[in-house]
Amino acid sequence: MSAADRIARALFGFYMVAFFLYLFAPLAIMGIATFNTSRFPTVTPWRGTTLQWFDALWSDSGMWQSLWTSFIVAFFVVITVLPIGTAAALVLTSLHARARSFMYAVMVSPLLTPGVVIGIATLVLWRQLGVGGGVFLIVVAQASFIICYVMLMITARLQRFDPTQEEAALGLGASKFMVFRRVLLPFLKPALIAAGFLAVLQSIENYNTTLFVRGFDTPLTVYIATKVRTGLTPAVNALALIMIAITVFGAIAYEIARRRGADGGGVAVQL
Amino acid sequence: MSELYRRFGGGLGTLFLALVGVWLAGMVLAPNVMMIDYALRPNLPPSQLGGPEDVYSLDNILYLANEGVHRAIFFKTVWASALVAFITFLVCYPMAFWLAQHATVNQTAVVLLALTIPFWINEVLRTLAWYILLAFRGPLNAFLLSLGIIDEPVRWYGDGGVLAGMTYAYILFMLFPIYNAIESLDKSQIEAARDLGASTWRIHWRVVIPHAKAGIATGCVFTFMLAAGSYVAPALLGAPGSRWFTEIIYNWFFEGGDWNRGAAYALVLLVLCLAVVLVTLRIARVSLTEVAK
């Protein structure tokens, strides 16, 4: 190995360490700060180890209220985006090439629109109709772009669909509705589950759009951001730690399920 | 259309079209049209709506052009967002290349899984993590002081903090498109270039980057758009001297009480983002179909 190679190797090793440190150190520090008695979340100086911030989180009624709001929003977002996203994918795939690429551009345009703009546009339209910010508008605004993700995932799945299945069912006397219900929907089921999962995550994590249409309702992300400005304590870190733990377990479980399925029709969650 | 009806029959076909119509007309087109309408009208008390003063004009947009502070913040947001995209690219490119060309299948699976974890955690919490790390009496300052790299604590909140937090938040939007693009590059092309005597630097510049152009353009477009439209990172990690354009928009709506001007500013942001997206994709010769993969 030449000297240049050794230097390159060392540089690359340094890069790898730095990359993962950059990725995980902030999260690790945020998590560890939960156990420090210090009122402002930090790890330096360490004032003593405690679990008191979990208690503080547990008895924080505002947090529970905002968590509940986020769940309600996520629930309505999912039941809105799955049917519309599926319909959009089916309409899109039934178009001819030219019309299809135009429609495609129209349908992905919300993904290329800044989140704050989506929130503002929704807000001004509904004010004109006499509806102010609140859970309803949060659902409408979030759904308008989460539908894009559903549409993309369903479209990807549809590309692997074998239309002769439908023809066979029709030939055996099934109605068109029955073919949709018994052939196409079951085929789409894995993609629908993955899309629903993604929609929940997107909904709960959204901040930029939600901020403008929330009215007097406070979903979890807004609650956390407000806490940071008005009185951050490690109770918020406890919440973050719990969310990280759920995420890690979820990601690992998903990976295990995916490997066990070994391409048994599973759809990779792409973003 | 006829294909849709042929396949699903009249009832279902109409239902699908109606659902798509509700989405595209009611949830995408109408709100944007209304925003443009707001942007072009003056902010009047209810009694004067529809009166002689209530006419379309470009006053709200010209206000932005003439108001020095807002204009400066707008241009700062544009170049800072471009800088975020560029730094994110520098951070991600070596990792994407290694994953796509050198890592074993298992290494790739583990690293991709590890990469997704911070990504599933929401943007507010990711930003909070940086808020804690960069605090004046926080861990980063304590660490640098103990190493003797700095003599007194640094105030990280401000432009530097916003840049760090944003780069962190958008890493995956950059990494995945580039990884996907480099993965399709045949290893033999790199070997051929090496056998012909190209240096590592030159191989990347002349072989890998041109091949990954579409992925790089996609990553940059998304990162730019997300950065320019971000509210949480500047709000948490910024300082009074590092305001972001989205914060100005927010103030028009919820503190200044002038929705028309706020809508005009939002419209400018939207046009900026669409222009950047379309021009970048045109330059890189990428179609929208490839972007959303």
Among partner residues B98, B225, B259, which is closest to A112 by beta-carbon distance? B225
Q: Could you report the per-residue pLDDT of A76-127, keeping only the tens digit for each?
A: 999 999 999 999 999 998 888 888 888 998 999 998 899 999 999 999 999 9
Within 8 A of B237 by CB-CB distance, chain A residues are none
Q: What is the pLDDT of residue A268?
A: 41
Q: How many CB pairs under 8 A join A and B?
A: 246
Within 8 A of B126 by CB-CB distance, chain A residues are 26-27
Half-sphere exposure of B70 (CA within 13 A, CB side): 22
Q: Could you report the per-residue pLDDT of B97-129, keeping only the tens digit for each?
A: 999 888 888 888 888 888 877 777 788 888 999
CA distances from B28 to A106, B227, B241 (A): 9, 22, 35
Within 8 A of B27 by CB-CB distance, chain A residues are 122, 140, 143-144, 147
Residues 114-153 of A with CB under 8 A from B: 114-118, 120-125, 127-128, 140, 143-144, 147-148, 152
The residue in chain A having the minimum alpha-carbon distance to the alpha carbon of residue B271 is A113
Q: How confident is the model at residue B293 (pLDDT cuts 50, 70, 90)?
A: low
**Residue A74 in domain:** yes
* pTM of the shown model: 0.87
Q: How confident is the model at residue A1 (pLDDT cuts 50, 70, 90)?
A: low
CA distances from A122 to A49, A136, A144, B21, B98 (A): 47, 11, 9, 16, 43
Q: Are B23 and B5 in contact (CB under 8 A)?
A: no
Residue of A36, A255, A64 whose CA lies nearest to B120: A255
- Cα distance from A88 to chain B (closest Cα, Å)? 6
- For chain B, say whether A235 makes contact (Cβ under 8 Å): no
- Cα distance from B51 to chain A (closest Cα, Å)? 17
**Per-residue tokens: B194:** 């090496």
**Residue A224 in domain:** yes
ipTM of the complex: 0.87
Residue found by looking up tokens 């018994």 in the block: A182
| Every domain of chain B and the residues it spans | 68-291
Quick one: fold of B68-291?
MetI-like fold (1.10.3720)
CB contact under 8 A, A205 and B30: no
CB contact under 8 A, B263 and A124: yes
Q: Tell me what the pLDDT averaged over chain A comes to.
A: 87
**Residue A96 in domain:** yes
- Cα distance from B166 to chain A (closest Cα, Å)? 12
Q: What is the pLDDT of residue B95?
A: 92
Could you tell me which residues come within 8 angstroms of residue A151 by beta carbon, excluding any fewer than 6 positions away? A85, A88, A89, A92, A107
Q: How confident is the model at residue A269 (pLDDT cuts 50, 70, 90)?
A: very low
- For chain B, say whether A201 makes contact (Cβ under 8 Å): yes
- Cα distance from B157 to chain A (closest Cα, Å)? 13
Q: What is the pLDDT of residue A48?
A: 81
Q: What is the total count of domains within chain A?
A: 1
- For chain B, say whether A193 makes contact (Cβ under 8 Å): no
Q: Are B282 and B210 in contact (CB under 8 A)?
A: no
CB contact under 8 A, B277 and A22: no
The residue in chain B having the minimum alpha-carbon distance to the alpha carbon of residue A178 is B8
**Residue A253 in domain:** yes
Domain of residue A181 covers: 51-261
Residue A36, beta-bridge partner list? A49
Query: Which CATH number do you get for residue A143?
Result: 1.10.3720.10
Select the residue from A112, A187, A224 to test the B interface by mutation, using most B Cβ atoms within 10 A: A112
Q: Could you report the per-residue pLDDT of A168-224, keeping only the tens digit for each?
A: 888 888 888 888 888 899 999 988 988 998 898 889 889 999 999 999 999 999 998
**Residue A6 in domain:** no
Q: What is the pLDDT of residue B247?
A: 92
Among partner residues B30, B95, B250, which is closest to A125 by beta-carbon distance? B30
**Per-residue tokens: B1:** 């259309």
